Amino acid sequence: MFERHTAPIFSKPLVIISLLELIGRFSDHWKFGTQRLVYLSALIVYLKEERLASREETAATLGVKTKREEGFHIDLDDYLMGILNLTSELSRLAMNAVTAGNYSKPLKISRFIGELDSGFRLLNLKNDHLRKRFDGLKYDVKRCEEVVYDLTIRGLVNKEGKGE
């Protein structure tokens, strides 16, 4: 009744190419999740070591690759979007640190976000979702600068830039 149908034998490179095409075709399904994981990984690295996690380091932490040819990977756009999400959280952390009485943390966060802003300004971003999110970075920078300004005006930060 049913005929047994055997699939043709594919060569290994052809199978890999077809799998990569499938990954590329459906990558939008996990784009937001990847960006969120990059953000969380970068946040953990910043909170522990007060530095930016590289794309390679983030990929290694998540157990994925950075190159498309190697399979499931972190796109550069997803990495950058995750880093931009990090800046929003750090600007909130700066305000909360002042409330908790930690006056040196907002200075470090402000310096870090300023450096990120300088780095993003070097990129030639097209008019897409990454550019729109980058435009929001200036509000994060402004928020941190306002916190540092208030600390300075109130005399809670000494001349060396350290909280008292």
Q: Does 102 score more than 80 pLDDT?
A: yes
110 pLDDT above the threshold of 90: yes
Give per-residue pLDDT as tens, 65-77: 877 777 677 888 8
pLDDT single digits (tens) 1-57:
445 544 444 444 544 445 555 555 555 656 788 899 999 999 999 999 999 999 999
pLDDT at 113 over 90: yes
pLDDT on residue 162: 58
Mapped onto helix, strand or coil, the DSSP state of residue 60 is: helix
Partners of residue 157 on adjacent β-strands: 163
Q: Which helix (H) or strand (E) holds 65?
A: none
pLDDT reported for residue 124 = 84
Residue list, annotated binding site for Mg(2+):
89
In angstroms, the CA 113 to CA 91 distance is 8
Q: Which CATH class is domain 12-153?
A: mainly alpha
In single-letter form, the type of residue at position 57 comes to E
pLDDT at 28: 60
Feature table: binding site: 89
> What whole-number distance in Å separates Cα of residue 80 and Cα of residue 62?
16
The per-residue pLDDT for range 75-93, each reduced to its tens digit, is 888 999 999 999 999 999 9
- For the chain, the domains span 12-153
**pTM tops 0.85, yes or no:** no
By the 10 Å C-beta count (0-12 exposed, 13-18 middle, 19+ buried), 1 is classed as: exposed
Q: How confident is the model at residue 64 (pLDDT cuts 50, 70, 90)?
A: confident
